[in-house]
Amino acid sequence: MSTTFQLDTSTSRANPTPAPMKRLTVPKIKRRKFEGKTEEPLVMLTAYTARQAQLLDPHCDMLLVGDSLGQVIYGLPSTLPVTLDMMCAHGAAVVRGSYHSVVIVDMPFGAYEASPQIAFEAASRIMAETGAAAVKLEGGEAMAETIAFLTARGIPVMAHVGLTPQAVNVLGGYAARGRSQQEHEKIIRDGQAVSDAGAFAVVVEGVIEPIAIALTQSVEIPVIGIGASAQCDGQVLVTEDMLGMFERVPRFVKKYDDIAGMIEKTVETYAREVRDRSFPGPEQTYQPKK
């Protein structure tokens, strides 16, 4: 039986609580694709905090502690300034807040590109400090050697091809990839290379839909789409984007709610009640015992 941490609202402390089911594993995720098909698509969302993980965990197969936390949590202009310390801290929080999903932590820019050995040092630190089940790194053929090196040493790897945000300066922006035949072929080669190297799954982001479908059909591992195709083996989105926390989101995001609007209205009500002294009322204050 797994263990999660429930927040005690009376003390704001996280207490370990036995969970009612075993956590999914990387091999189980990989086996969801059988003979080239995934009957039930895999569900994946980003998570950065323990409480967020608690809310998402029952509905997801995988939780990604994405380096998108740079923009979402820290207000940074891109993912490039995100550090290994940040990823470890948030990764540990998400593991504590979950009991069902496979937790995967992004390797930040600069933590793995130089060599497989350097990648192993960073990845092993992530695994040890967070308790996560796997790491994710960007890149296709260029990262195949590193993926093989990590997996051979007990670190499961999810790959990421297509639009790779850490390479935004090389790509020249966040436009969809694969409009040329040359780029189309490269994305397919990248996906096949990471699969052959031992990645247990691959994210394909921001590509022309026929490429996503072709890649899904050409590799044995699950292909997780984001701005790709419903025909992929699963989907991932940045949770704050799909909840409507931001006004501007990529085209491929569907806003399932307007949480930002709800927060604004709630805070407006709170501010009004503070200013007219209707809050706190008798229910929120301590009175002398009679």
- Which positions make up the binding site for Mg(2+)? 67, 106, 138
Helix (H, G, I), strand (E, B) or coil at 218: helix
In whole angstroms, give the CA distance from residue 283 to residue 279.
9
Sequence ranges of the binding site? 67-68, 106, 136, 138
* Catalytic annotation present for 183: no
Sequence ranges of the binding site for 3-methyl-2-oxobutanoate? 67-68, 106, 136
How far out from the chain centre does Cα 241 lie?
12
How far out from the chain centre does Cα 28 lie?
18
**Neighbouring-strand partners of residue 177:** 207
Angle at 175 between CA 170 and CA 181, to 5 degrees: 85
In whole angstroms, give the CA distance from residue 104 to residue 194.
17
- The token pair at 94 is 């998400």
From 205, 240, 264, 268, active-site residue: 205
In whole angstroms, give the CA distance from residue 46 to residue 62.
9
In whole angstroms, give the CA distance from residue 103 to residue 57.
10
Instruction: State the pairing for strand pair 37-38/33-34.
Output: antiparallel
Active site residues per annotation: 205
